[in-house]
Chains A and B, each alone.
Chain A
């Protein structure tokens, strides 16, 4: 098992607030790894640390076995970042945006690679259009195209589908799956449960700067129970977890009000571990 991304004892604060607390993470080569958690959980800070946008107060980070602060140029040539906020040059057209990226990353055969990337995301016909005329979905697709140009080993995606309609979201998911098929290691942050469940081989659930659970979605569900009994009482919704549906049914008979029995999901694990919902 080859480790592609590794953090050890990473701490990061903003003023008196700890954004990340003792982060220990291992992402395997070729997997899609998700950081799941509510806003302010420390997901984006983690990504910023790993992508050179901020420095941790202490701790070490390695990508492909290289300390990112000792070998920044080598590491930067092997990664790609798709940020939550679109960082395309609005005054340039799609082609120019990718051309500048190619130049920054010293990519050879630029024309061919740009055409290939733009065709891959279905934007070749729009290459001469200014970015300001692009819809949000088109801009996200262009970010994806850009991220493939330097043939990175590791791709970081920060909330890749936030604000997108379901159809575009599905499209982006397909592109991410294709990137995995090409052998890329992908670390993404999300607060969408279905996104984490659909895409991720493994998930780390973060809350208040800490990883509170880590494993495959199935492993995490097994830990808390595959079935959920959801009932409504005076205090609000109550969630109880069971290994089998039969156990949940037995318990449901004891309840007076309306109940729902369903399969558990990653949000249930978050609720079980923190007592809160992911917003």
Chain B
């Protein structure tokens, strides 16, 4: 049960060292803060979306996006580099621990990174005194979002054959998701022909969940779909680690 702890501990030591270099914190936050400044404070209180002001609408979307990016990117890039360049992934494969422990260690580290970056955006929210208040559904959605994208990060980190390939996947997966999953505007406003694409993206459902103020049919459906995506990614990631070979 505790076999994942050494992997988590390693990831956290490295993360702590990187955080001490301020550039890593800034790079994690630069995009959401720019979006917040431009779209949120730029459009300000004057714009109303789904019955609330735009900053209140935007903030949970940005948190979903930030948690996705930070959980995913660090894991996908880190795993790819550890596997192909530093070869440190070999150590995990050769250690007397089960593949599930390796996976859980990496995923937990991804969740912590996602939650840490999200907490910084939440701090901005608290400082700006918006009308958005994190509730239970929000925290559950956020946690699932971090889990889901850490696991996706493992899949991409395991299948890519070079660092450049990881960047390509990130561009084709993360960028469309960041813009089309309801981060910046309500899904209802989008034209009908893009809706099938939008509802195929996992971030769409976790963003819905993160925005919900109370449980209803849509929230429950989003919860189940998010769990479904997470389990599917988990299964694939575990298979990749189990069948690892050089």
Contacts and interface: CB of A to CB of B under 8 A. Distances in A.
B246 A54 contact: yes
A87 B17 contact: no
- Chain A residues touching B, range: 20 to 34
Contacts, number: 65
Interface string A33-66: 0000000000000001001111100000000000
B86 A92 contact: no
A81 B13 contact: no
Interface string A125-141: 00000000000000000
B214 interface: no
Contacts of B88: 87-89
B87 A104 contact: no
A77 interface: yes
A90 B81 CA distance: 12
Interface string B86-125: 1110111111111000000000000000000000000000
A55 B245 contact: yes
A133 to B, nearest CB: 14
Contacts of A92: 10, 13-14
Contacts of B18: 91
Contacts of A83: 87, 90
B96 A87 contact: no
A101 B88 CA distance: 11
A91 B17 CA distance: 8
B87 A76 contact: no
A74 interface: yes
A1 interface: no
Given A74-B96, A76-B96, A48 B246 contact: yes
B245 A105 contact: no
Contacts of A89: 10, 14, 86, 88
Contacts of A76: 94-96
B10 A77 contact: no
A51 B6 CA distance: 20
A9 B7 CA distance: 36
A103 B10 CA distance: 10
Contact of A77 (B14, B96, B98): B96
A76 B6 CA distance: 16
Given A73-B96, A105-B96, A87 B245 contact: no
Interface string B118-161: 00000000000000000000000000000000000000000000
Contact of B5 (A73, A90, A103): A103
Nearest to B245: A54
Interface in A76-100: 76-77, 79, 81, 83, 85-92, 96, 100
A106 interface: yes
Given A89-B10, A100-B10, A103-B9, A73 B98 contact: yes
Which of B13, B96, B97 has the most C-beta atoms of chain A within 10 angstroms of its own C-beta? B96
A133 B6 CA distance: 24
Contacts of A87: 86-88, 90-91
A233 to B, nearest CB: 44
Contacts of B87: 83, 85-87
B97 to A, nearest CB: 7
B86 A90 contact: yes
Contacts of B93: 52-53
Interface in B204-226: none
A106 B96 contact: yes
Nearest to A48: B246
A76 B93 CA distance: 9
A153 to B, nearest CB: 13
Contacts of B98: 73
B90 to A, nearest CB: 5
A80 to B, nearest CB: 9
Interface string B31-45: 000000000000000
Interface of B: 5-7, 9-10, 13-14, 17-18, 86-88, 90-98, 245-246
Interface of A: 48, 51-55, 72-74, 76-77, 79, 81, 83, 85-92, 96, 100-101, 103-106
9 nearest CB pairs, A to B: A103-B6, A87-B87, A104-B95, A77-B96, A76-B96, A54-B245, A73-B96, A104-B6, A100-B10
